[in-house]
Amino acid sequence: MNDTPEENTPPLDFIRQRVADDVAAGKNDGRVVTRFPPEPNGYLHIGHAKAICLNFGLASEYEGGVCHMRFDDTNPTREDAEYVDSILDDVRWLGWDWGENLFYASDYFDQLYEYALVLIRKGKAFVCDLDHKEMAAHRGTVQEPGRDSPHKSRSVEENLDLFERMRAGEFEEGSRTLRANIDMASDNMVMRDPVIYRIMKVDHHRTGDKWCIYPMYDFTHGLSDSIEKVTHSLCSLEFQVRRPLYDWFIDEVGVECHPQQIEFARLNLTYTVMSKRKLLELVEGGQVEGWDDPRLPTICGLRRRGYTPASIRTFCERIGMARRDNTQEVALLEHGLRDELNRTAERRMGVLRPLKVIIDNYPEGESEELDAINNPEDESAGKRKVPFSRELWIEQTDFMEDPPRKFFRLGIGREVRLRYAYYITCVDVVKDDAGEVVEVHCTYDPETRGGDSPDGRKVKGTIHWVSAQHAVEAQVRVYDHLFMAEDPLQAGEGGDWKENLNPDSLEVLDGCKLEPALGGSVAGDNCQFERHGYFCVDPVDSAPGNLVFNRTASLRDTWARLQKRAGS
């Protein structure tokens, strides 16, 4: 009794279902063409990753399916080639390939101009002399219809002439626009004679000074989809009201290919913000150190933090696809990451907050090497040697003079196991003037070499350690959620959302002691510091002899959770 394939396949989301239906019905000759259409005016974040994985993923599920990479670069005042490169990098890093299909809406400016002429000749577009303010006044409100522009009834010839002269640069910026001739009384504000072209005497990052009029999004986007023979044009919910306009342009221009726009809910994540504007505010306000700050949900930030492309793709698959507003818990993202890293990351020992341990009965000046397993989840990762000697570093939190119940770690008179090494028993402590324990004296049991005792006695705790004379020093940056509130935008009465910033979102630890195997770490390396979490070498600030690690994610810490619960 085997499961049928159907039972193993997750159900299709509403978009995939619809595409499957279209293909089954022979629509578009069974072709599937999608596109990812960013504007090159900022950095990609994980919300974009959702759209990227949807568009590229969906296309990849069909024989011959393709996903185009297209830049919606119709507003030269806010766009820049710099962003094009970073966006391309990010999409590639996520693991997607657009092949030959890299396009720019600006590639279509000539064609789009011709399309505009078609509309004018049909009487479906007119040149309007209203300025910004006047146009707004004519537009009406959501509850009241707008009024026709006084120029709406210009002749086709006059419109053709004026539009050509707009293109020739005869008119001032803002003095004239080309508008669609639709309906100023429409319930849908978007249909109230929207602007198609505006005058902008600005160089474009690709077309230079060729144009001084630029097409608007609504006109450009759908027709670009049509030019590229896109079959399914997937976008986020806020474009829903614009679908009638998307369809209107395509129908009125009379192009043969009419892609289907389908909207889905964009991604929100707990403990962070996603809007471009707010991200920019954090970067410019200095609350973070740049677009690639590891606390940001930007793709470059996640990459620097140590997130893997696969974990982000898995996340995008698991969150599903629907039309309702949603806020995903970061915990789901983190879970996928840990799940992957648990399988792939090699284990190392690193002491973040060092406390000196001296093994009184271990000979001075001697050392030995012990075997340590690189990855218990993957035997092929093999073993390594870890040096042991009389003076060690352990974690400050692994010793307590006056331990609470169920504390399995080191305390006076207690015995614990040093991971892969020996059982040690604490016999004494040395304190500084302030009464802080600065040195812990222990004895070790030579019979327990490797971590097992021949007499079968058990120890409850196993702690990590690093030999003091062999330790490699490093800076470790411990990251936590950028905001303290699940929904940072939910600020108190009159409050600023930035008041929800987590003051402890970054803790920089210097003088951390790492096992020597980590000495040659370079950018791109990652590992698990046992009992701490997953870390990666910071690609920007780390250098040989000046190692910097970022904490990608902590391990689940049941003990800390219990402690916290008992404390509060």
CB 76 within 8 A of CB 200: yes
Structure tokens at 564: 């916290």
**Binding marks (x or -) toward RNA, 4..33, rule CB under 7 A?**
-------x-xx--x----------------
CA–CA separation, 240 and 235 (whole Å): 8
Applying CB under 7 A, which of residues 92, 121, 122, 132 lies at the interface with RNA? 132
Note whether 457 binds RNA by CB under 7 A. no
Q: Classify 109 as helix, strand or coil.
A: helix
Q: Which of 266, 356, 449, 498 is catalytic?
A: 266
Note whether 342 binds RNA by CB under 7 A. yes
Q: Is 39 a catalytic residue?
A: yes
Nearest to 108 by CA among 267, 214, 248, 247: 214
Note whether 39 binds RNA by CB under 7 A. yes
Count of Cβ atoms closer than 10 Å to residue 301 Cβ: 23
Applying CB under 7 A, which of residues 313, 419, 441, 477 lies at the interface with RNA? 419
Q: What is the closest distance, in whole angstroms, from the C-beta atom of residue 347 to RNA in the complex?
A: 5
Q: Classify 355 as helix, strand or coil.
A: strand
Q: Which of residues 159-178 bind RNA (CB under 7 A)?
A: 173-177
Note whether 92 binds RNA by CB under 7 A. no
Applying CB under 7 A, which of residues 530, 535, 547, 550 lies at the interface with RNA? 530
CB 274 within 8 A of CB 267: yes
Nearest residue (CB) to RNA, 66 versus 349: 349
Structure tokens at 298: 């930007």
Applying CB under 7 A, which of residues 96, 126, 246, 420 lies at the interface with RNA? 420
Applying CB under 7 A, which of residues 531, 547, 549, 550 lies at the interface with RNA? 531
**Binding marks (x or -) toward RNA, 475..514, rule CB under 7 A?**
----------------------------------------
Q: What is the closest distance, in whole angstroms, from the C-beta atom of residue 289 to RNA in the complex?
A: 26
Rg (CA), the chain: 31
What residue has token string 């069974």? 30
CA–CA separation, 424 and 445 (whole Å): 6
Note whether 193 binds RNA by CB under 7 A. no
CB 537 within 8 A of CB 519: no
Q: Which of 27, 39, 152, 356 is catalytic?
A: 39
Structure tokens at 419: 């991971």
Nearest residue (CB) to RNA, 77 versus 155: 77
CB 121 within 8 A of CB 156: yes
Q: What is the closest distance, in whole angstroms, from the C-beta atom of residue 405 to RNA in the complex?
A: 9
Q: Which of residues 232-251 bind RNA (CB under 7 A)?
A: 237-242
**Binding marks (x or -) toward RNA, 370..389, rule CB under 7 A?**
-----xxx------------
What residue has token string 């306009």? 245
Applying CB under 7 A, which of residues 154, 198, 414, 441 lies at the interface with RNA? 198
Nearest residue (CB) to RNA, 326 versus 425: 326
Note whether 35 binds RNA by CB under 7 A. no
Site size with RNA, rule: CB under 7 A:
92
Q: Which of 276, 385, 449, 498 is catalytic?
A: 276
467 bridge partner residues? 392
Q: What is the closest distance, in whole angstroms, from the C-beta atom of residue 254 to RNA in the complex?
A: 22
Nearest residue (CB) to RNA, 324 versus 402: 324
CB 45 within 8 A of CB 300: no
Instruction: Pick the piece of the chain touching RNA (CB under 7 A) from 201-209, 353-361, 404-412, 427-435.
Output: 404-412
**Binding marks (x or -) toward RNA, 290..319, rule CB under 7 A?**
----------------------------xx
Burial bucket for residue 434 (CB in 10 Å: 0-12, 13-18, 19+) = exposed
CA–CA separation, 408 and 393 (whole Å): 18
Instruction: Pick the piece of the chain touching RNA (CB under 7 A) from 152-160, 251-259, 369-377, 517-525.
Output: 369-377
Nearest residue (CB) to RNA, 280 versus 562: 562
How many Cα atoms occupy the beta-carbon half-sphere of 553 within 13 Å?
A: 22
Nearest to 530 by CA among 424, 384, 425: 384
Q: What is the closest distance, in whole angstroms, from the C-beta atom of residue 379 to RNA in the complex?
A: 13
The Cα angle at residue 495 between residues 489 and 496, in degrees rounded to 5: 55
Nearest residue (CB) to RNA, 429 versus 555: 555
How many Cα atoms occupy the beta-carbon half-sphere of 48 within 13 Å?
A: 23
Note whether 558 binds RNA by CB under 7 A. yes
Instruction: Pick the piece of the chain touching RNA (CB under 7 A) from 49-57, 68-76, 162-170, 466-474.
Output: 68-76
Pairing outcome for strands 415-418 and 423-431: antiparallel
Helix (H) or strand (E) holding 33: strand 33-36
Q: Residues for the chain: how many in total? A: 568
Q: List, by residue number, the catalytic residues.
A: 39, 266, 276
